[in-house]
Structure 1
Amino acid sequence: MPSELALDRFVCFGDSLTELSWGENGLGASLAFLYQRRLDVLNRGLSGYNSDWALPCLKKWLSPKGSDEPKTQLMTIWLGANDAVLPGEPQHVPLARYLANLRAIVALVRDPASAHHSPETSLVLVTPTPYHPEGWLDERVRRGLPRTHDRAPERTKEYADAVKRLGQELGVPVADAHTAVMDVVREVGEDRLGEFFTDGLHLNQNAYAAVVEEVKRVILSSYPEKSWEAIPMLFPHWREIPNGALGPQYATADKAVAEASAKRVDPF
């Protein structure tokens, strides 16, 4: 059985945009900072995966219905950057099947008949972000690939817009990462689009910061009771310990902190 002190979870599920988001200002890193001592933020990003390949992996990751494992309170679903590559590319998933896969992911959690039904889990769909075509062509060359386009900006935007429509259909809030990134790009000029990516496709800290703010906005507006401000921290603030906040089993710690406080010394 899990410890009664185990934290519930915030799962970040997606492709490389999720996997790499534990870097500076990344989505995962920022959420882990916000939810420290509140939820364990888990990286479930799969670099290079499309929704066809990611769906069966999620089935293996999700806890079975009725499990006594810590609950997943929040989950971001951020797929589409790879699905949206041009037809004929190995990662391409047609738009209709991409949306069907997202519906299946949502149903895994929401459908009472699902083996992974989790009524506690609040979902956030995240749209694929834009990319910088010339920067990505340069990266393809660095990887030993032909300097030819394997994706198109208008196709990525089409998949992003479809996620927004699907969210309305399913009643799942959507973090519009595509618009969030383009908004900060337009502030400096679209000719500087390349400055928001590490390689033309993957986001740098400035682009991630825009995505983080959009995801935070959605959580605060759609799930305020699960915001980093609302969920109580594990264990009380240290200044409450001298008042017996930890209980009699922590008498030694209570005494040590009380003595330090009396001397106006911060024990931490």
Structure 2
Amino acid sequence: MDHPYNQILLFGDSITQFSFDPELVGFGASLANAYQRKVDVVNRGFSGYNTEWGLPILRQLLPTVEKQKQTPAKILLATIFLGANDSALPFALQHVPLDKFKENLNTMISMFKSPESPSYNPDVRLVLITPPPLNEVQWKKRCDDQGGPLNRTWEYSRDYAQAVRDVAQERGVILADLWTKLMDVGMDNLHEYLLDGLHLNANGNKLTYELLIQTIQHHFPDIHPDNLEMELPGFRDLPRENFEESLQFPLLKQ
């Protein structure tokens, strides 16, 4: 099928994967709703994955420079939302050391932004999202229920969130600081935004959606949903006769 819509790529772990869950009012689903008939929001979240496992996946997802020339549909914006699993404690399978985590994020950014990259895309808007703070009370209960030790801490989530901030600043990439946004509600209130101490509940997803929309409005207003036209006209605007030309997708006419 020819692709008549540009895309927003959501790349990350389970928090991104679950962002299309209607019961959780997923932030990805909310974005897809806001951009309906304008831009396709593509969920590429992989539950349990860290940046080490994410690297070979992202290499496969991004179109090469040659493929970008062959299709008019583009990735307008991409989010990288990783670190919740990398920040697991060192004994855990998912743990990635802090320096390696930063290196992996830099490599991902270079896939988009480096002229030497096979998938170089200088026009894409890139957003790094900090992992959420861990609510240890909730997460310990989950670990206890599963019969395992506490494998994450608030302090580790703090350090990995700071690493995302550092990489964003060093590389000149836009940051959506979810960690700080959630900490602003107070440690004692984190349970109101986190399902199990790590993953977002409905309130957390609504907050994340609002953060991303505000980030787009502030940094990339040209692709805010309010500033984009629908790819095809509303049915009331169609001519009564000879309407075929009006029903041609603009991207497919290029």
TM over 0.5: yes
Between Structure 1 and Structure 2, whose CA radius of gyration is higher? 1
Instruction: Measure, in 2, the Cα distance between the counterparts of 1:12 and 1:223.
Output: 16
**C-alpha displacement of 1:233:** 0.9
Instruction: Measure, in 1, the Cα distance between the counterparts of 2:118 and 2:84.
Output: 28
Q: Is the contact between residue 181 and residue 211 of structure 1 (CA under 8 Å) also seen in structure 2?
A: no
Equivalent in 92, 98, 103 of residue 100 of structure 1: 103
Q: Residue 250 of structure 2 corresponds to which residue in structure 1? A: none
Q: Residue 252 of structure 2 corresponds to which residue in structure 1? A: none
Equivalent in 78, 81, 86 of residue 81 of structure 2: 78
Residue 223, structure 1, aligned to residue 220, structure 2: yes
Equivalent in 112, 120, 124 of residue 121 of structure 1: 124
Instruction: Measure, in 1, the Cα distance between the counterparts of 2:118 and 2:236.
Output: 44
Equivalent in 9, 13, 34 of residue 7 of structure 2: 9
Instruction: Measure, in 2, the Cα distance between the counterparts of 1:192 and 1:71.
Output: 40
Q: Residue 261 of structure 1 corresponds to which residue in structure 2? A: none
Q: Is the contact between residue 11 and residue 81 of structure 2 (CA under 8 Å) also seen in structure 1?
A: yes
Instruction: Measure, in 1, the Cα distance between the counterparts of 2:207 and 2:192.
Output: 14
Which shifted more, 61-70 or 119-128? Answer: 61-70
TM-score (structure 2 length as normaliser): 0.89
Which shifted more, 6-15 or 23-32? Answer: 23-32
Instruction: Measure, in 2, the Cα distance between the counterparts of 1:121 and 1:239.
Output: 34
Which shifted more, 152-161 or 60-69? Answer: 60-69
Instruction: Measure, in 2, the Cα distance between the counterparts of 1:191 and 1:113.
Output: 47
**C-alpha displacement of 1:214:** 1.2
Q: Residue 181 of structure 1 corresponds to which residue in structure 2? A: 182
**C-alpha displacement of 1:250:** 6.2
**C-alpha displacement of 1:234:** 1.1
For 2:37, give the aligned amino acid.
R
Equivalent in 192, 199, 205 of residue 202 of structure 1: 199
Instruction: Measure, in 2, the Cα distance between the counterparts of 1:153 and 1:227.
Output: 33
Correspondences of 1:113-262 after superposition (within 5 Å): 113-142=116-145, 144-146=146-148, 148-183=149-184, 185-186=185-186, 190-242=187-239, 248-249=243-244
SS at match of 2:76: strand
**C-alpha displacement of 1:232:** 1.7
Deviations 1:195-227 (A, max 9, x none): 322222111010111111111111111111111
TM-score (structure 1 length as normaliser): 0.85
Instruction: Measure, in 1, the Cα distance between the counterparts of 2:189 and 2:31.
Output: 27
Instruction: Measure, in 2, the Cα distance between the counterparts of 1:127 and 1:97.
Output: 16
Q: Residue 22 of structure 1 corresponds to which residue in structure 2? A: 20
SS at match of 2:222: helix
Deviations 1:7-37 (A, max 9, x none): 0111100000100011243221111011111
Which shifted more, 231-240 or 45-54? Answer: 231-240
Q: Residue 34 of structure 1 corresponds to which residue in structure 2? A: 34
For 2:147, give the aligned amino acid.
L
Q: Residue 112 of structure 1 corresponds to which residue in structure 2? A: 115
Correspondences of 1:42-57 after superposition (within 5 Å): 42-57=42-57
For 1:11, give the aligned amino acid.
L
Instruction: Measure, in 2, the Cα distance between the counterparts of 1:210 and 1:14.
Output: 17
Q: Higher relative contact order at CA 8 Å, sep ≥6: structure 1 or structure 2? A: 2
SS at match of 1:167: helix
For 1:240, give the aligned amino acid.
D
For 1:226, give the aligned amino acid.
I
For 1:90, give the aligned amino acid.
L
Unaligned runs of 5+ in 2: 248-254
Instruction: Measure, in 1, the Cα distance between the counterparts of 2:143 and 2:43.
Output: 26
Q: Is the contact between residue 182 and residue 190 of structure 2 (CA under 8 Å) also seen in structure 1?
A: no
CA separation of 1:66 and 1:232: change in aligned 2, threshold 3 A: farther
